[in-house]
Amino acid sequence: MKITLVHGQNHKGSTYQLSHILLDKIGQKQDVEIVNEFFLPKDLNHFCLGCFQCIEGDENCPFFDEKTKILDAIEAADVLIFTTPTYCLRASAPMKSFLDMTFTRWMVHRPKAIMFSKKAIVLSSSAGSGGKLATKDIATSLFYWGIPWIKQYSKSLQAMNWKGVSKKNQDKVDRDLTKLSKKILRKKNAKAGIKTKFMFHMMKNMQKAGWGSSPYEKQYWMSQGWFGGKAPWR
């Protein structure tokens, strides 16, 4: 199983620990190859400029090279693990910045067919509340990328770092991530569901009618054969 991790923080704190507990549990049952592990903002220290150059081609983004290293590793993996600490009830700014710079991958623009067969896990920890909102920020983007199987897990740890987490909470995390690892392993093939297919067909009709952001996008959809009988999940 090939796995790529994208962390919404540079430090290896509690949320990082969650991801590696999950990795260890998957690795106990199946061979794991980590395609790459990225830390934001270290590996992409930019905000989207709103220049819209990417609308006419991703290579026009001023941060294309750094962004593409992450996206290539994402495409090369079977399972994606995204992590973010919960900051002010939401995902971290570096993670949000990365997601902002991938908006052309959304189904409304130029989705990648390979994403429609991947599994994704979104993890977050917090000292207090807001973890579910933080994971939802990321899961929303992943859904619009076309990823059909997304699981979210968040935990309020009542601690500022992993060393301060109580034995009770550490045991609860261990049990929860054991269950999550089993779900990942049981799900052999991720397939697009009704919601994903409905959204894709809506976007197809929009692009076909010329209501996309540019003629370049319509040409992209035509080149994929999606205006005919093809679909990215087939």
**Where are the chain's structural domains?**
2-192
What is the Cα–Cα distance from 200 to 194, expressed in whole angstroms? 10
What is the Cα–Cα distance from 84 to 131, expressed in whole angstroms? 9
**Which helix (DSSP H) or strand (DSSP E) does residue 180 occupy?**
helix 167-186
Residue 14 has what pLDDT? 96
CA 102 to chain centre: 10
User: Taking residues 2-6, what's their average pLDDT?
Assistant: 97
> Whole-model pTM?
0.95
Let me know how long the chain is: 234
Question: Quick check: helix, strand or coil at residue 10?
Answer: coil
User: Taking residues 101-109, what's their average pLDDT?
Assistant: 97
What is the Cα–Cα distance from 54 to 50, expressed in whole angstroms? 9
The answer to whether the beta carbons of residues 53 and 61 sit under 8 Å apart is yes
Residue 104 has what pLDDT? 97
What dotted CATH number matches 2-192? 3.40.50.360
pLDDT digit string, tens, across residues 48-89: 999 999 999 999 999 999 999 999 999 999 999 999 999 999
